[in-house]
Amino acid sequence: MRKFFPVDSLARDSRFNQITMRQSQADPRSVLVGDATKQPRTNRLTPSRPDASDRARGLMHGIFVGEIQALEGAGRTCHDFETGTPDSIGTVPFALKLDMARQAWDEARHVEISVKLSEWMGTEIGQYAENTVLFEAACSTDPVLRLAGVNRALEGLAIDVFTTMKEFGDIAGDPYLEFCEDWMLADEVTHVKMGSDWLRRITENDPERRAKALEFQSVVDKIFSFGGTRSESQESPIGLARRFRELAGFTDDEVDDIATVSLNALEERKAFAQRAQADAVEQFSASSPS
Amino acid sequence: MTVVEPATFQFVSFDAALIGRIADDLVDALGIDRPVHVVVDETTPLGRVRIEIGDVITIHAESGAFEDSKRPREQSEVSTTASLGRALLRARDRLTGGFGEAPADGELSLRQVSAWETYSVGRLERLGVPVNQQRWRYNFRNRHGFTDLADLAFDRIWSADGLTWGELESISTAGSAEGAAA
């Protein structure tokens, strides 16, 4: 079986349309800039938003495709690396493979739950574009970078997303949504904890490798915060779930760093949207007959 | 013939002529008695739609209302039809009588909006417009409660034709938490 599978070869049927993060971020439209009277008071996903149902459906579909990619990523980590000792680069301890196998089992269950929740909310499989960035973070040739990028950064984001969705279900009175998100949240906390524990154990005698992994995590955190998707600002649809992150092994300083990175990313997204809108107008003017 | 603004789009790949054709077809199918003007705000990906009714019906739509969610920034004919259809049915309801007591659009509660949307989409489905009923049931439940009573109200509204505002409001209230408590 092939090792180190490229993102453009993931198996999907014709219902899916995959887009990259670059394509996703090239959209010059944004609710973060422009006429303030047209902007919602808050972008946070709550049932009080007039478009709450549709936004929740879109986010649920994002969770669904994220679970598929997380399953694929954890499975690849079991297979891509030979069994070895913690300090030999390119191999992983057998116990780490067992954790990844357990995670793959969890993610498969999450995919099934997400399909059922999507049906419940009136969404069809593949109705929204699939952003493949999660699997891209799972393609590193260093298993420690995968743990940092996927288990700590992306599964950490999943903690924030599930917390937001659980609260949504609670406030809306949707018993299935609240229940399912709560159970999946419990698994995500475990996945992040596994990533934190293995990162510490594998890099115990290799501070340089640990620093490189944490730097990679920071990059992935920022990519996922780009667009202002997740931060402590009300301008972001998803909040930062500090308590659950603590349970998952993040220190207070680490959570503070993520909060800062997320807020900076939100500001960068606003600046980007302003530039992109100005560029689009300029290009349109240049191409229009005078 | 429907006028669409802008005639050419800068931020999205939408076709003003297609929007115009869809609106014209809906105007014929729904028996709308006056010209329609569609103004698209392409600077936002949100999907809100509002209407102004005068000698002309003006539909202000954010680009997300006509977008293909699978292919960002591209137009979906189905979404365009459903969004324009809902707006035009709401306009027709207000123009043909029976909806005189309905609050102005900006004053409708989220529950009332969801009930009226349900009434509109149910009628669109019977006109042959492809819709996902479960999507609208979920929206209705979010505003009325996740109860059997809410589902009964949804089914009644979805299959109804010729309701007045009073009838619509009465079914909606009966299906909500307030109705259940009364």
DSSP A110-152: HHHHHHHHHHHHT--TT-S-EE-HHHHHTT-SSHHHHIIIIII
pLDDT band with cut points at 50, 70 and 90 for residue B131: very high
The residue assigned the tokens 């007039």 is A50
Instruction: Say yes or no for a CB contact (<8 Å) between B138 and A53.
Output: yes
B73, B132, B146 ranked by CB distance to A124: nearest: B132
- Is residue B37 helix, strand or coil? strand
Point out the residue among B43, B73, B142 whose CB comes nearest to the CB of A172: B142
At A87-128, the pLDDT tens digits run 777 899 999 999 999 999 999 999 999 999 999 999 999 999
For residue A25, the chain B residue with the least C-alpha distance is: B72
Q: Do B138 and A122 touch (CB under 8 A)?
A: yes
Radius of gyration of chain B (CA): 16
Name the token pair of A167: 């609260």
pLDDT category at B113 given cuts 50, 70, 90 is very high
CB contact under 8 A, A52 and B71: no
Total-model pTM: 0.89
Q: Categorize the per-residue pLDDT at A226 as very low, low, confident or very high, splitting at 50, 70 and 90.
A: low
Residue A217 host element (H or E): helix A207-225
Q: How far apart are CA A81 and CA A90, in angstroms?
A: 6
Answer yes or no: are the C-beta atoms of B165 and B132 closer than 8 Å.
Answer: no
* Chain A interface with B: residues with Cβ < 8 Å: 17, 19, 23-24, 27-31, 34-35, 38, 40, 47-48, 50-54, 57-58, 119-124, 126-129, 172-175, 277, 280-281, 283-284, 288
Interval B42-92: pLDDT, tens: 998 999 999 999 999 999 999 999 999 999 999 999 999 999 999 999 999
Torsion over CA of A289, A290, B1 and B6, rounded to 10 degrees? 90
Could you give the CA distance from residue B74 to residue B63 in angstroms, rounded to a whole number?
A: 10
pLDDT at residue B175 greater than cutoff 60: yes
